[in-house]
Structure 1
Amino acid sequence: MTVGPAGAYERMLAVAVAALHEQDPARLWPLVAANLPGLCGGEALIYKLGEWTDRTGAMGLSPAAAAHFGRIDDIGDEAMTVLRRGYPFADHYFAAGAVRRPGTAHRMAGRGWAHSRTAGTISRLMDADHVLAIPLPGTTTPVTGCLVYRAGADFTEDHVRAAERMQPLLAGVEQQRQLLERWRATQTPPEVTADSRLTPRQVTVLLLLADALTAAAIAHRLGISVRTVHKHVEGLYRKLGTRDRVSTVLRAQEIGLLPPRTGR
């Protein structure tokens, strides 16, 4: 069920807050997938964390999509190839100078959409007639984003505008996922992270501090204010018992929160 603008805004805030407090990067996109479709007039969703081609790109399902055909691996090779190809969105967003604004398959492909192989596949798999693509802003290759599905009438312009308003949230979720994945790759012992009591957002700020980014650059990367960055940095100082950025990074490396710096 689609929610109104005020309710959609509140739901967006709730999803954003939940994402920022989630420590497991594998749970971020499922969290979004469970909430996003109804905020922009859809019924089911597939998200793609990679290039929109017929061979590459991790994919995941919303609960409504999973209810139709189970796990993503149960779709079948032929149908998976069609969905991965992302017609007509892949060609549209890969075109030189293309604006990564959300858009519907029908408006991009015209009359050819209803007779396309992709339309037939989603009709068979999900009883859906229309697709709304929500690419992440600022991406080039690979293109990461969501495909939202619905039956009956096409998505309205209001739905498209709602999806556009949600793009920064999705970009933030993906940024958070990538940084948390990078952090987990350090194989930090669980007892170390528990003792440090860092929040997921503090972890992402710590990683960017280790990259020698300024507060302004971190704010731009994460889509938050410089003031908020300073608050996270102050929290890091307090929890790690440090007083400046260099000692904070060194302390984090010492206790295993960050990998040790290697020689150049």
Structure 2
Amino acid sequence: MVSVAVAALHERDPGRLWPLLAAALPELCGGEALIYKLDDWNESEGTVRVSPGVAADELDLLGEEDLGLLRAGYPFAPLYSTGHQRVPVTARQVAGPAWPASPTARLLRRTLDAHHVLGLPLPQTGTPITGCLIYRSGTDFTDDQVRIARRAQPLLAAVEQQRQLLEQWQRQLNARYAPGTGDELAVDCALTPRETTVLLLLADALTAAAIGRRLGISDRTVHKHVENIYRKLGTRDRVSTVLRAQRIGLIPASGPAPGQAPPRKPSRT
């Protein structure tokens, strides 16, 4: 799990974060395949994203009725939407002996050769409820595997926060400069993706404690990231750091209209 976290939090492309998790989580939790959701799902809408190894071609051949079952045919949504704690649980634990005979279970056996599914929601999320569905054949997930899934929840939450912040940052800079300018500037400043997200939250005037809660890390870790940012940008405090980052174009600031020339690369001092 540690190696997955390190790889995810050093990935500069936010679009690769969830595929990276999707490749590792099934084996970690005793599963064989995974589908994850980052948007709202109902019977007619919602993007079905699959882990490597899932028969994506076969899923592409499914009709709307079957896709509706993949999106909304599980017993998890009613459980979580009624205010139940966001904890991993298997479909059989929720639905009982009726689960294997359900239309969704029959579809999973046919398309994924899977008999059981584990719901792994992101903790403390509102609506829509986001997270993963992990599948396995044979016997149901064990109690130990469900506990491992629960321990993985903070990692999922941290990666999702990282994805959202980096995507928003890239959209804002791409609207002003050439695509990829933000990543180039971050590399020139030797900022890691994690340090970049901490810098973005510093610019929003969040305290270290608030940044820690947002990113799922300790205050001490936040302070370490902030020290690294100061050193790399050659600054001494929050205000000068934010102004420096805005001046070199690393974070958005009010100013010239979109389409202007890219900012000058930071000088190394």
* TM-score for both structures, normalised by structure 1: 0.88
Q: Which amino acid aligns with 2:34?
A: L
Given the alignment, which residue of 203, 206, 209 partners 2:199?
A: 206
Q: CA deviation at 1:185?
A: 1.1
Q: For 1:12-27, what aligned pairs fall within 5 Å after superposition?
A: 12-27=1-16
Q: For 1:67-86, what aligned pairs fall within 5 Å after superposition?
A: 68-70=55-57, 73-86=60-73
Distance 1:210 1:56, change over 3 A: farther
SS at match of 1:161: helix
What's the counterpart of residue 254 of structure 1? 247
In 2, the alpha carbon distance for the partners of 1:211 and 1:73 equals 42
Unaligned runs of 5+ in 2: 256-269
Q: CA deviation at 1:76?
A: 4.1
Q: For 1:46-125, what aligned pairs fall within 5 Å after superposition?
A: 46-65=35-54, 68-70=55-57, 73-95=60-82, 97-125=83-111
Distance 1:76 1:236, change over 3 A: farther
Does residue 161 of the first structure (1) align with residue 147 of the second (2)?
yes
Contact 2:37 2:49 in 1 (8 A): yes
Which region of structure 1 is more displaced relative to structure 2, 242-251 or 144-153?
242-251
Q: CA deviation at 1:182?
A: 1.3
Given the alignment, which residue of 105, 113, 117 partners 1:127?
A: 113
Q: CA deviation at 1:79?
A: 2.3
SS at match of 2:249: coil
Given the alignment, which residue of 31, 53, 78 partners 2:20?
A: 31
Identity of paired residues, percent? 62
* Deviations 1:183-202, CA, capped at 9 Å, x for gaps: 11122615423322210001
Q: CA deviation at 1:82?
A: 1.2
Q: Which amino acid aligns with 1:90?
A: A
User: How many correspondences in the alignment?
Assistant: 248
Distance 1:73 1:174, change over 3 A: farther
* TM-score for both structures, normalised by structure 2: 0.87
In 1, the alpha carbon distance for the partners of 2:73 and 2:125 equals 16
What's the counterpart of residue 209 of structure 2? 216
Unaligned runs of 5+ in 1: 1-11
Provide the aligned C-alpha RMSD in A.
1.7
SS at match of 1:64: coil
Distance 1:209 1:125, change over 3 A: same
Which region of structure 1 is more displaced relative to structure 2, 148-157 or 253-262?
253-262
Distance 1:246 1:69, change over 3 A: same
SS at match of 1:147: strand
